[in-house]
Chains A and B, each alone.
Chain A
Amino acid sequence: MKKNFIFLFLIIIIPIKAFALIEVDITRGNLNPLPLAVSPLSIDDQSKKSFERILNKQNIGSEISIIVENNLRTSGLFNTLNKDAFLQAPDIANLKPRFEDWNLIKAQALITGKVTYVDEKLRVEFRLWDVLAAKEMMALAFTTVPSNWRRVGHIISDKVYKRLTGEKGYFDTRIIYVAEEGPKTQRKKRLAIMDQDGANNKFLTLGNELVLTPRFNPTSQMVTYLSYFKNLPRVYLLDIETGTQEVVGDFPGMTFAPRFSPDGKKIIMSFAKDGKSDIYTMDLENRLVEKITNHPSIDTSPSYSPNGKFIAFNSDRSGYQQIYIMRNNGTDVKRISFGNGIYGTPVWSPRGDLIAFTKLHKGKFYIGVMRTDGKGERLLTENYYQEAPSWSPNGRVLIFYRETKTNAKGEGFSAKLWSIDLTGYNERLVETETDASDPSWSSLLSN
């Protein structure tokens, strides 16, 4: 684990000389985030008026730069500097920054840019500068429909993140989750989707029936989830674009805990019958159903390895819930969790080297990670109740949900989404319109 982080930071050091001056002990989390200035994107009066009319935003250049700034700050890797301290006007800075001015406010990297209205389209160019080396590191331009302006901000964030860390970003992504309302004993639950930063929230179901555990297809805008439609809990497939949905398979009982295979062509899930739950897959093309485990225990929460060759799942075949891995055909079942407590919800990292999990030990719930052989367990966060980690597409951040303890009268219940870095640092509440649970992170929408 440590090796990975050291590697990551070597990459950061190379493009920016200034980084060599900073000693970052990543094993303690990133306590020295890179000072970064995001200059508002400059905009000419004519374009400003056009976007004000179309998007109802006074200054779309500032708005986009705020998105970039927020993304990079919440990543925990960057310290975004206060705009009030900026000495240079956005339009001049984008042409040729006066590096000494930016150096003065301790910026080590600088983002500048320009927004124009061209042929009813939004054109955005931006540049990333190394302040100490006084050099341009990257320059890119996009043209898109004006309504895509938030995504432009996310794409710029991803480009900057990649240029400075050497890894893909995770900002141009969405989160699907379960929106919760009402008393704990009669919770109303709806599927909801939002941008990774909480914008563009949309409810996908009405809340007439209980819905649980939505998960993204890694390759398309499809979602699989559990619905209690007509009081028959079954796994469903939902196309977010068209809104069409269908039951997955024809099982004479409850199917649950669905996830897609990494190629998006199969759904893996559990089917409960006569008190035991086994793992099944269904091929979405030919609809063939395959039974993967066959054991009198509860086998559930399956998750494929990114290469599709292995499956992690939890089973109580040893007496208590523990994590196992097996080949994708169900052979070579091996228990990998041997620490104190019970272990569940294994989720394979998109990088393939780690499995995130939920652990219950002595009345506390933990989100942690372990290697795929079960060694190197690291607990990232402890709480009264939390579970269901989902990886950011670059495998650096986990999103999960947390529930509060109620008081003696059973009041004060809430469920919220939280995120935390793989380092165990940068724990953040993810703001949602309503209470929320069961988050699932999409792949990058653009590459």
Chain B
Amino acid sequence: MILSKILKNGFLILAACLVLTACATKKEVAAPDISGQMQGDTYTGTDTVNYLADGVPDRVFFATNESILTTASRETLRAQAAWLRKNSNFNVVLEGHADERGTREYNLALGERRANSAKDYLMTYGISSDRISVLSYGKERPVDAGSTPLAWSKNRRSVTVKAN
């Protein structure tokens, strides 16, 4: 039982490593080729994603100027909601972010709107609003310092962070 779990985890980590190296090479070789990591202009890759638990990604991504959740984002948030239900001792902060291609003040509001979009979804899956707080960083804390559409797509995000 335990062994199989370890093996499974090991496999997941290995898979993640493979994906990561694959992405890295792809970027180096052909910078404009981003088809593998973006759908429209929403980021679909995993190289900035952390995990709250096994199979529970910590963040969702948005299209330019948008706060609408994609199908993939909703799936991530349902996994987060399930995790939150199981771990009722944890509260979370939803940190909303924007890319660098917008004015600072508008981006602060946009980050707040994105985080709230995630919050609303978690609430519809039974998570009490008391357990969720929202914090917008606007464009102040990019994960990727690049000035490319791919970098911007990674930065347009809402990240669920354990608050305690």
Tell whether A320 is near chain B: CB-to-CB under 8 Å. yes
Instruction: Give the contacting residue for A272; candidates B112, B137, B144; CB below 8 A.
Output: B112
Q: Look across to chain B and name the residue whose beta carbon is closest to the beta carbon of A357.
A: B103
* Given A213-B104, A277-B113, A405-B147, 13 more pairs with CB closer than 8 A: A185-B145, A212-B108, A233-B108, A254-B108, A254-B136, A277-B109, A301-B103, A316-B65, A345-B103, A387-B104, A406-B147, A408-B31, A410-B144
Chain A residue contacts of B113, Cβ below 8 A: 272, 275-277, 298
- Would you give the shortest CB distance from A34 to chain B, in whole angstroms? 37
B102 is an interface residue with CB less than 8 A from chain A: yes
Known interface pairs A270-B109, A301-B106; A385-B144 also in contact (CB < 8 Å): no
| A272: nearest chain-B partner, CB-CB | B112
- B143-164 CB mask vs A (1 if < 8 Å, else 0) is 1111110010000000000000
Residues on B with C-beta less than 8 A from A406 are 145-147
B140 touches A298 (CB 8 A): no
Task: Report yes or no: B101 in contact with A385, Cβ–Cβ below 8 A.
Answer: yes
Contact of A257 among B105, B117, B141 (CB under 8 A): B105
B25, chain A: closest CB distance, angstroms: 14
Binding site for B on A (CB under 8 A): 183-187, 210, 212-213, 226, 231, 233, 253-254, 256-257, 270, 272, 274-277, 298, 300-301, 314, 316, 320-321, 344-345, 358, 360, 363, 384-385, 387-388, 403, 405-406, 408-411, 413, 438
- Does the CB pair A274–B105 fall under 8 Å? no
Interface residues on B, range: 20 to 34
Q: Output the least CB separation between B126 and chain A (Å).
A: 19
Assess the B116–A314 pair: CB atoms within 8 A: no
Tell me how far the C-beta of B1 lies from the nearest C-beta in chain A, rounded to whole angstroms: 41
On whether A438 and B136 interact (CB within 8 A), knowing A183-B145, A185-B142, A408-B146, the answer reads no
Q: Does B23 contact A (CB under 8 A)?
A: no
Shortest A145–chain B CB gap in Å is: 39
CA distance A405 to B103 in the complex (A): 15
Q: Which residues does chain B contribute within 8 Å of A213, judged by CB atoms?
A: 104-105
Nearest residue, chain A, Cβ from B135:
A231
Q: Could you tell me the distance between the alpha carbons of A257 and B144 in the complex, rounded to whole angstroms? A: 25
Report 6 cross-chain contacts, Cβ distance below 8 Å, ordered by A residue: A226-B108, A277-B113, A314-B103, A316-B65, A345-B103, A410-B151
Nearest residue, chain B, Cβ from A277: B109
Chain B residues with Cβ below 8 Å from A385 are 100-101
| Cross-chain contact of B105 among A185, A345, A405, A413 (Cβ < 8 A) | A345
**Which B residues are in CB contact (< 8 Å) with A300?**
105-106, 108-109
B residues in contact with A231, CB < 8 Å: 135
Q: A231-B135, A406-B146 are in contact. Are A298 and B100 (CB under 8 A)?
A: no
Decide yes or no whether B110 CB sits under 8 A from chain A.
yes
CB of B8 to closest CB in A, whole Å: 32
Q: Which residues of B (34-93) have their CB < 8 Å from a CB of A?
A: 65, 67
Decide: A277 near B135, CB < 8 A? Known: A184-B142, A301-B105, A410-B145.
no
Chain B contacts of A253 at CB under 8 A?
A: 112, 134
Q: Which residue of B lies closest to A411 (CB)?
A: B145
Contact flags B107-138 to A (C-beta < 8 A → 1, else 0): 01110110011001000000000000011110
Residues in chain A near residue B134, CB distance under 8 A: 253
Chain B residue numbers with a CB within 8 Å of A277 are: 109, 112-113
Q: Which residue of A lies closest to B144 (CB)?
A: A410
In the complex, chain A residues whose CB is within 8 Å of the CB of B31? 408
Counting chain A CB atoms within 10 Å of each CB, which of B105, B108, B120, B135 scores highest? B105
8 closest Cβ contacts across the A-B interface? A410-B145, A275-B116, A184-B145, A344-B103, A277-B109, A275-B113, A298-B109, A257-B105
Q: For the complex, what is the distance from the CA of A213 to the CA of B151, rounded to whole Å?
A: 25
**A344–B108 Cα gap in the complex (Å)?**
13
| Smallest CB separation, A412 vs chain B (Å) | 9
A184 smallest CB distance to B (angstroms):
4
B151's closest neighbor in chain A, by CB?
A410
Q: Are B103 and A413 in contact (CB under 8 A)?
A: no
The answer for the CA separation of A255 and B162 in the assembled complex, in Å, is 23
**Contact at A256–B109, with CB atoms within 8 Å?**
yes
Residues of B close to A316: CB separation below 8 A: 65, 106
State A368–B31 Cα separation when bound (angstroms): 33
Q: Which residue of A lies closest to B115 (CB)?
A: A275
Q: How far is the CA of A384 from the CA of B140 in the complex (A)?
A: 18
Give CA–CA (A47, B67) in the complex, Å. 67
* B102: chain A residues within 8 A (beta carbon): 321, 344, 360
CB distance from A381 to the nearest CB of B (A): 15
Roughly how many angstroms separate A300 CA and B136 CA in the complex, as a whole number?
15
* Inter-chain contacts of B147 with A (CB < 8 A): 384, 405-406, 410
Given known A185-B141, A270-B109, A275-B67, contact A212–B135 (CB-CB < 8 A): no
In whole angstroms, how far apart are the Cα atoms of A362 and B16 in the complex?
36
Identify the closest chain A residue to B140 (Cβ). A210
